[in-house]
Every structure is written in C-alpha cells, then in structure tokens.
Amino acid sequence: MAIISRGFGGRRRESVPGLPPGQYLTHDFPVLSAGPTPRIPLDRWHFTITTETGEQKSWNWQEFQALPSEDVTTDIHCVTKWSKLGTTWHGVSLDTLLADVETSADYTMVHSFGGYTTNVPLEDLLDGKAWITYRFDGDDLAPEHGGPARMIVPHLYFWKSAKWVNGMQMMNSDEPGFWEAAGYHMYGDPWLEQRYQGD
C-alpha cells in the first residue's frame, strides 16, 4: 500500500466563500496522524529555535506561557480535502518567538516530539501568519490535535501546521520534511491545490 493517499473521495463539493477548490466543509475536527500520539508532560515540554549558525533560543512550558499571546480565528484546510472554517485558537505568534533571533536563512524545518518534520519558508511564519498554539475552542489543546502545543500556519495545507512541536531549525536551502519526502508538495498552497509533487 502506498504511503501517499490521494485523499478522501465521494464528498459533495460546496460553493462556499472561504473554501479553496476541491475542498468540502466539515463541522467536526478529523484526527489524522502519521504515527502514535505522543503524550508530553508539561515539565518535559520545550521549544527551541536553532539558527543556521547553531545559535539556540529555547523556552520551557512556564517560560512559553509567560510570553505575550493572542486569540486567533482562522480557517484550516487539510490536504485530504476537508476544511473547517472559523476555528479559534490561542497561542504565541512566531513574530514574538523570532523577534530576538538573528538569521539570514530563508527556510525552516519544524520539528516535533515523535520525530515528525515539515519545511516552511521563513517568510510564511512572519507578519502574523503563524502561531504556536496551546488552546483550541477555549480549551487546552488535546493530544490528538497536537497538544500541548502545535504550530498553526493556516494559509498552507494543515500538514504544515505541525502537531506536538518542539523546535524549529533555520536553513539556507529548502529541504523536504516527512510528508514532502513521501511525495507531498514542498509548499502546499490550498488555493493552488498544491497537494502533491507536480501539482
């Protein structure tokens, strides 16, 4: 069986404002993961940014919780073709986390507990485009949805919004992460239907 699924089929397509081409609306929150769900105790949680020169900036859970945070309401779009509109999150902007990080890199690799990785251009994480979130719909983020903390990059397909994040590495050149190495698109714009290599 191939590791690449071409997505779910047979759904009625809807013409709804905010719905990218080929997507259908869902009102639940499907859980899709590449492996078992990590359970990370808060006293072991950390998030570390590593620059291309090896400099590191790191936060434990208490330090992360003390950072300025904000509410975010946004639409999310999964590569398996479901979209959920108007989702509400709470977390820390990547602008805040990167404010004191000196880098000339153009790319990042996001790392997660459990070994998952995904590549995201740095410019797609700045200017209010991405967050590390720890609450969803008013409650602590559940482990199956990436808790205690996950990245949200809502303008890209949801596999770029890595669950269970623990770090980010700055890179001078783009490299594939987990799903990208398996044939998924290196960028993943839902409005351009960039699901797989060659799309």
- Identify residue 61 by its one-letter amino acid code: W
Average pLDDT of 47-73? 97
The domain limits of the chain are 61-184
CA distance readout (Å), 127 to 86, 93, 96, 189? 20, 9, 10, 17
The yes or no reply on domain 61-184 and CATH 3.40.920.10 is: no
The residue behind tokens 């397509």 is: 13
Q: CA-CA distance, 164 to 179, in Å (whole number)?
A: 16
Q: What average pLDDT does this structure show over 59-77?
A: 97
C-alpha 76 chain-centroid distance: 10
What string of DSSP letters covers 79-108?
Answer: TTSEEEEEEEEEEEEHHHHHTT-----SEE
Tell me: pLDDT of 8 over 80: no
**41 has pLDDT over 70:** yes
Model pLDDT, residue 3: 46
**Lowest mean per-residue pLDDT among 6-20, 166-180, 183-197:** 6-20
Band of pLDDT at residue 16, cut at 50, 70 and 90:
confident
Can you give the pLDDT at residue 29? 85
- Please write the tens of the pLDDT for every residue from 92-138: 999 999 999 999 999 999 999 999 999 999 999 999 999 999 999 99
